[in-house]
Chains A and B, each alone.
Chain A
Amino acid sequence: MAAAELAPLVARLRAAVGDAHVVTHRHQLRTYESDGLLQYAVTPGAVVLPGSADEVRAVVRACFEAGVPFVARGAGSGLSGGALPVAGGVVIALSRMRRILEVDLPNQRVVVEPGVTNLEVSRAVAPTHFYPPDPSSQVVCTIGGNVAENAGGAHCLKYGFTTTYVTGAEAVLSDGTAVSLGGAEADRPGYDLLGTLVGSEGTLAVVTRVTLRVVPVPESIRTLVAFFATPQAAGEAVSAIVSAGVVPGAIEMMDNLAIRAAEPVAHAGFPLDAGAALLVELDGSRAEVERRFADVERFCAAAGAGEVRVARHEAERARFWKARKAAFAAMGRIAHAYLVQDGVIPRTRLPEVLARIQSLAGEYGLRVANVFHAGDGNLHPLVCYDAPEDAARAAELSARILDACLEAGGSITGEHGVGHDKKAHMPKQFAEADLAAFQKLRCAFDPHGLANPGKVMPTPRLCGEVPGRYRPHPLEEAGLAERF
């Protein structure tokens, strides 16, 4: 849509939120043209920064009446192009809505606006409580974005995902209607529409207020890193630990390439010749953790760990984690560029999928570093390349790694989302009937397709005839007649 056509809408947006909070200058718009996945860029028609739920309603209503699509955006740290603008559309940036509205510690609830960052929630309830989902971007990423993506992190196996901790949300539907889903209470009657909103990647509604559950900080945390000759050997240790009924707070693996990238940055003392590093963290009651930690050490040794290093104090634990969390950013030390993949496999298929990734890397003549959440089978292969002309080949290799995950019975995304980047892969994981069911849900929320169109679903679809308000079945009407 040309700027001139957008002018009446822009005037309404300015009236709704104030001139200072509507961006239309071309070079300012460029700030918003990508999210964390920089290979895609689209310049939006306008960016609007509402400061309250009322303003979000007014903005969405104005877009609806103008028939202009909108994309909600938090910190823009997503890795699937989920916040990629629509050309000529409106970006609703929620970064001004960053108030913590309520801390109800007796009931272990925190109510926030969508622009509050993930880490701020834990800070608000420290030192007794914390908010478990911890994506690596937690310093900057927002709760609104976490809700959109159902953000995960390193502690999912034991603690679950964003959806496990969101008990309520207020949201604005694409026609500007405000709706309250869930609440502070845990088990409310009616469809779990909140459960479908979480992870819907901004395609169902714009969230304006979120109620989160927080949990007590564990009594004890013990962390170790074990080094193995191969990722396969480390995988055996993971199997032994999990099969014994131990549910670690986190269990993370890095292969040799990832270790070599991260060590010079993190100075964690990881041996550069180790084939794999396995970071295992147990948390919980002291009595239970102590018993289980000894088991974990034994399982690592039995699987052939050359060395097992137990964190002696918090500083050492922090260094172990720094090595793990630095791995992505540190890849720049060993390659000019890389693509982060996010696939999932059933955990027991790990050895064969790792072998497959290795053989694919050989076939393409590219290096692939592996960093992953080993307990839940969530792989993050990092496909490295140096020359710009290798980018397309790297993308192809990355896509074939996803195919390998699907062949093993897995998923194309464990935490980064489908967004724009992976929508073409959706038909490999889901049949037409499955996609049609997704579309039914989408049409119930957003029949005009204005909320973040062009994401998640592989091809644009129209909602067709709105069936209208649900009409009671004649039998039901007969039943109702007796009721009152």
Chain B
Amino acid sequence: MPSASEAIAERLASGGAVRIAGAGTKANWGRPVDGLDPLPTAALDRVVAHEPGDFTAVLEAGVRLADAQAEFARAGQMLALDPPGDGATIGGVVAAADAGPLRHRYGTPRDVVIGVALALPDGTVARSGGRVIKNVAGYDLPKLACGSFGTLGVITEVCVRLHPRPQRTATAILRHDDPDRLQEIALDLSHRPLEAEALDVRWEGGQGALLARFAGAAAAERARAVASEVDADDEGLWAAQRDGQRGELVVRVSALPADLARVLRAAREHDASAVGRAGVGTIWLSLPAGAGAPDVLALRDRLAPRPCVVSDAPAAVRAAIDPWDVPEGPALELMRRVKARFDPHGTCNPGLFAGGI
């Protein structure tokens, strides 16, 4: 009997375009494409291995991230990915390269996924990377899978590296309603050797704040060294940061730390709220009810050349404008060539991705 991964590869090889479906928490991302045959990953539901001593785990793609985290927590460990959406599967999180506030210190899926199995449209299951955290044998296809939105094949299994789960956290809060001042504070914090778990910004109704989260035995002490306002019971605060990445119409701006004031001023003018990684530069703008495609285009115009990707949006908006903001050019041509080699007949999530890939 073929394994669940092999069964998916066989399905792909039999032809007919599919829409790969995990938990469906990001079904309204990307270009809308109708009429595809759904291909669920629900059967891929096993935690294949968890090696606490090695800080690694192997998960099938359909495993819910929250369930995996509960298992890792029992060993005092975590997978350092905290994207919004508790129902999300690990396959979906990896395919979308989704990440939350922990991104500040630990990165995105590309930084914690050390191995991947891809069911390919040619009917094979290709493995790359491995189960060790340091490994340069062969091409880094796990990087290619992260953020590929299922357009090259179906991610059926991932191997991840884990981190110690901090027992104590505390968050320093620095409030200000001047975007320039917030940027100054953010740059000051990210230039100090704080080793914060997260360094986020929040902007809502004309008021802003920077949140610096510390972990470990000295967490509260380190937070107090940064700000007089410290929240030692900070789970709710960070849940709100994660939730702020989702909404009716959300634009993710891939900016730089020194663009923060510019992005927040844009938020103010568009009556948008914002959350994001102040030390990284990636900010999510949540546009108010009634906003639409023209607002997205105005934001892109204003924030160019920083890419502005539409994540959550009604299908009409995603149909009216390219949600991806990847310009035509040699890089996009190369992406199309990669697509053509892995998925020559457009079987996997065709049309969903940048440049019509």
Contact = CB atoms under 8 A, between A and B. Distances in A.
Contacts, number: 303
B138 A164 contact: no
B2 interface: no
Given A186-B280, A414-B134, A444-B341, A239 B53 contact: yes
B356 A107 contact: no
Interface in A254-288: 284-285, 287-288
Given A191-B144, A218-B193, A108 B257 contact: yes
A376 B195 contact: no
A348 B54 contact: yes
A122 interface: no
Contacts of B280: 186-187
Contact of B217 (A288, A376, A456, A473): A288
Interface in A42-96: none
A291 B134 CA distance: 28
Nearest to B127: A434
Contacts of B193: 216-219, 284-285
B221 interface: yes
Nearest to B252: A187
A440 interface: yes
Interface stretch (B63-71, B200-208, B266-274, B330-338): B330-338
Interface stretch (B20-28, B170-178, B346-354): B346-354
B350 A156 contact: no
Nearest to B118: A437
A409 B58 CA distance: 13
A180 B54 contact: no
Nearest to A472: B356
A418 B138 CA distance: 7
Given A180-B330, A189-B307, A218-B195, A196 B134 contact: no
A71 B85 CA distance: 46
B137 A418 contact: yes
A218 B141 CA distance: 32
B297 interface: no
B79 interface: no
Nearest to B350: A473
A250 interface: no
Contact of A285 (B107, B144, B222): B222
Contacts of A187: 97, 108, 252, 254, 280, 282
Interface stretch (A25-33, A225-233, A425-433): A425-433
Contacts of B127: 430-431, 433-434
Contacts of A193: 144, 331, 334-335, 338
Contacts of B282: 185-187
A437 B307 contact: no
B244 to A, nearest CB: 16
B334 A445 contact: yes
Interface centre among B33, B97, B338, B355 (most CB of A within 10 A): B338
A330 to B, nearest CB: 24
Interface centre among A193, A410, A436, A440 (most CB of B within 10 A): A440
Contacts of A475: 17, 33-36, 350-351
Nearest to B345: A473
Interface stretch (A11-19, A110-118, A241-249): A241-249
Contact of B111 (A164, A196, A344, A480): A164
A313 interface: no
Interface centre among A152, A416, A476 (most CB of B within 10 A): A476
A444 B257 CA distance: 34
B111 A288 contact: no
A243 B55 CA distance: 9
Nearest to B192: A216
Interface in B100-115: 107-108, 110-111
A178 B120 contact: no
A179 B191 CA distance: 31
B306 interface: yes
B222 to A, nearest CB: 6
B216 interface: yes
A251 interface: no
A344 B351 CA distance: 40
Nearest to A482: B319
B45 interface: no
A157 B135 CA distance: 12
B138 A430 contact: yes
A422 B326 CA distance: 37
Given A195-B144, A242-B55, A245-B164, A189 B350 contact: no
Contact of A441 (B124, B137, B139, B307): B139
A413 B137 contact: yes
B354 A190 contact: yes
Contacts of B337: 444-445, 469-470
Contacts of A242: 55
Nearest to B190: A108
B38 interface: no
Contacts of B194: 216, 285
Contacts of B344: 467, 470
Contacts of A222: none
B108 A179 contact: no
Contacts of A373: 134
A441 B141 contact: yes
A191 B217 contact: no
A437 B144 CA distance: 11
A429 B134 contact: no
B340 A441 contact: no
B130 interface: yes
A9 interface: no
Interface in B279-307: 280-282, 306-307
A411 B306 contact: no
A468 interface: yes
27 contacts: A105-B191, A173-B330, A179-B330, A185-B281, A187-B108, A188-B254, A188-B307, A191-B335, A192-B146, A198-B143, A199-B139, A291-B218, A346-B54, A373-B134, A411-B132, A411-B134, A411-B136, A413-B135, A430-B137, A436-B126, A437-B141, A441-B338, A443-B341, A467-B344, A475-B34, A475-B351, A479-B319
Interface of B: 17, 31-36, 51-56, 76, 97, 107-108, 110-111, 118, 120, 122, 124-128, 130-141, 143-144, 146-148, 152, 163-166, 187, 190-195, 216-218, 221-222, 252, 254-258, 280-282, 306-307, 309, 319-320, 324-326, 329-332, 334-342, 344, 346, 350-351, 354-357
Interface pairs A-B: 9 shortest CB-CB: A195-B143, A476-B351, A245-B164, A437-B126, A473-B350, A287-B218, A433-B124, A473-B346, A348-B53
Given A412-B137, A476-B351, A479-B31, 8 more contacts: A189-B309, A218-B193, A247-B163, A348-B53, A410-B132, A434-B127, A469-B340, A479-B319
Interface of A: 105-109, 128, 149-150, 152, 156-157, 160-161, 163-164, 173, 177-181, 184-193, 195-196, 198-200, 216-219, 239, 242-243, 245-247, 284-285, 287-288, 291, 344-348, 373, 376-378, 409-418, 422, 426, 429-431, 433-438, 440-445, 456, 467-473, 475-476, 478-480, 482-483
